[in-house]
Chain A
Amino acid sequence: MTRPPPYGAIAEFAEAETLVAAVRAARAAGWSRLEAHAPHPVPDAAIALGARAAPVGWIAVGAGIMGAAIAYGTAWYLSVYDYPLNVGGRPPHAWPAFLPAAYIVGVLWAAVAALIGMLWLNGLPSLHHPVFYARGFHRASQDRYFLYLMAEDPRFEAASALDFLRTLDALRVSEVRAA
């Protein structure tokens, strides 16, 4: 029986700066499907990988405006159109009184959308991922940094990927295979 092909190749680093250098080297060498893992934010590595945070903000702003509009629209529909109530001759379309709820609901939608949008852009929740097979990967949430070259990369070939990673000043280089 032949072994299934590996999910990719991975290198482990002790320092954030080595990881940033490794990511830059991998991008320069033409790798396109790669992921870097760290126990804390490493903005330089994220930027080197072309990450953009702005979409999270746009999702939140869009959802916030929509939430506020729906809340205001509901108040208008109920108080002006469906069941206008004459209280001492006050206008049914009391826009100042409709604002607090619209504002609060807008903020609520924006905050919920920031979380959901962030998770959606990140492809989470996904409780399983091949990189969890990598040796010692549990330390990615503690004190080690990883650079993962995925097998989906068109130029991926196990031997050449490992050779490339060995040039990067890594603590350990290994294939990622199902346990």
Chain B
Amino acid sequence: MSVSTRPVVAATLRPGAWGFRLGLLLALAGVAVLAAAIAALLVLGIGVWGNNIPHVWGFDLIAYAWWIGIANAASLFAAVLVLRRHGLRTAVNRFAEAVALAAVLASALYPILHLGRPWLFHWTVAYPATTGLWPQFGSPLVWDFWGIMAHVIVTALFWYIGLIPDLATLRDRTATQGRLGLARTYGLFALGWRGSVVHWHRHQAAYRLVAALVLPLLLSAQTVVALEFATTLVPAWHQARLPVHMVVTGLPSGLGVVLAMAAVLRHALSIERIIDDTDMDLLARLLACAALASGAAYAHEIFTGLVFAKGAAQEAFTARAFGAGAPAYWGAILLSVLLPQLLWRPGLRLRAAVLIPVGLLAAAGVWLDRWSLVVGGLLRERLPTHAVAYVPTAAEWALLAGSAALFGAVLLLFGRAIPVVAIFEIRHEESLEDVAEEER
């Protein structure tokens, strides 16, 4: 075992530290809250939520769009690293993939739960039913069913393909330590990987291919979510620019979460050598860049809303940006566009005390944008009834907190059971460095 990958394997195999146990305990408590919130929804019905006319969508779609955004940006980042064969990929692509997978699992909860009768969600599948009805393929809700399913499966595959050789490493390590039960478990999932160079050749081809396939899928995943809004007649939603807006403004959330995770992990697992200062520096600058791109999307939105939009569309935008929805709208810009600009200062890019809050607040800012879109878009009632403000209920807050806890629990368990950074890629990089040194 090369010296530098030892801490990674050790971190995976060592008995849990108190910090990990405490974190996992908290996360599992949160998952229990999630279970209670789901049980309340199933037993009492969708009335436990604050949704009502005109606010047909609330926390359910906000959280869904938000989690999808995190998953998208994290997988986009991982896929680009793999495709570019970038040095940074050894350090962060594995847990960027894990973040994406955990986020996509959290997001997949919401569209099912918001159906009203979640136990009938299989009606979106095209199967010959006794009702004689088929799904309506003209509806974005049906595209979304395929979109989410494909997103979950492809994200999981991308993560798993990269993991196979590392599982074989863990199989062999645990077997030499005499922990045979564990070795068999890892061995089963390593599928009998024996490191044949011919197998490696095809493995790398498949890994890069799936990375390339993740890209068009990400575009479509977030786009289909946006189309669910854009195909309605709600003025704030009925815009051709919405898919691009959601893809671009979603970027700071995923990159922010990956950055915060990287800052936590390198200290918690003592792997500062592997996720080194250059990696953190690059990741922080990427977040600042994504925030700039996101700022351009907001600028376009403001310009379009004030200058080009007419009538109802302009009113809808002014209500979101300058009316009752203003705090969420400008809060989103403050947290996800302006705050990450701090990271252009080199001194701040290496301080965990700065990176963790900036990363997480960028993600929170994107959540505010989704709130502004979903709730702010429906603020204006176009029927002559009194408009009721949307107020989330305890059940909705519990669901949001619970899905965040589920996300945390999945990541903590990943961090324990499997290597958080790709072992084989570090070895590969080191062997290339050796060659370069000898030639010097």
Contact = CB atoms under 8 A, between A and B. Distances in A.
Contact of B169 (A19, A36, A39): A39
Nearest to A126: B192
Interface in A42-85: 42-43, 45-47, 49, 51-57, 60, 71, 74-75, 78-79, 82-83, 85
A38 interface: yes
B165 A121 contact: no
Contacts of A85: 136
Given A114-B206, A142-B169, A37 B187 contact: no
Interface string A9-51: 0000000110100010000000000011111111101110101
Given A115-B206, A117-B206, 18 more contacts: A36-B196, A36-B198, A40-B427, A46-B200, A53-B202, A74-B126, A87-B138, A90-B138, A100-B220, A104-B220, A105-B150, A107-B220, A108-B146, A111-B154, A125-B192, A126-B191, A142-B172, A143-B1
Interface stretch (B208-216, B265-273, B339-347, B385-393): B208-216
Interface in B252-292: none
A32 B154 CA distance: 37
A114 B213 contact: yes
B137 A36 contact: no
B440 to A, nearest CB: 15
Nearest to B203: A118
A51 B202 contact: yes
Contacts of A126: 191-192
B83 interface: no
Interface stretch (A127-135, A152-160, A162-170): A127-135
B217 A40 contact: no
Given A104-B147, A122-B203, A111 B194 contact: no
Given A16-B431, A41-B200, A103 B205 contact: no
A81 B425 CA distance: 51
B135 A112 contact: no
A114 B192 contact: no
| Interface size grouping (class) on chain A | 35 or more
Nearest to A109: B150
A151 interface: no
User: Chain B interface: which size bin?
Assistant: 35 or more
A108 B149 contact: yes
B368 interface: no
A50 B136 CA distance: 49
A112 B169 contact: no
Nearest to A67: B150
B195 interface: yes
A138 B197 contact: no
A122 B150 CA distance: 25
B197 A42 contact: yes
A83 B135 CA distance: 10
Given A39-B427, A143-B427, A115 B210 contact: yes
B197 A125 contact: no
B150 A107 contact: yes
B427 A57 contact: no
B161 A53 contact: no
A97 B146 contact: no
B405 to A, nearest CB: 29
Q: Which 10 pairs of residues, A with B, have the shortest CB-CB distance? A: A53-B205, A125-B191, A118-B206, A40-B428, A46-B201, A138-B172, A108-B150, A75-B137, A78-B134, A51-B198
9 contacts: A16-B431, A41-B200, A42-B200, A101-B146, A107-B150, A111-B154, A118-B202, A127-B191, A138-B176
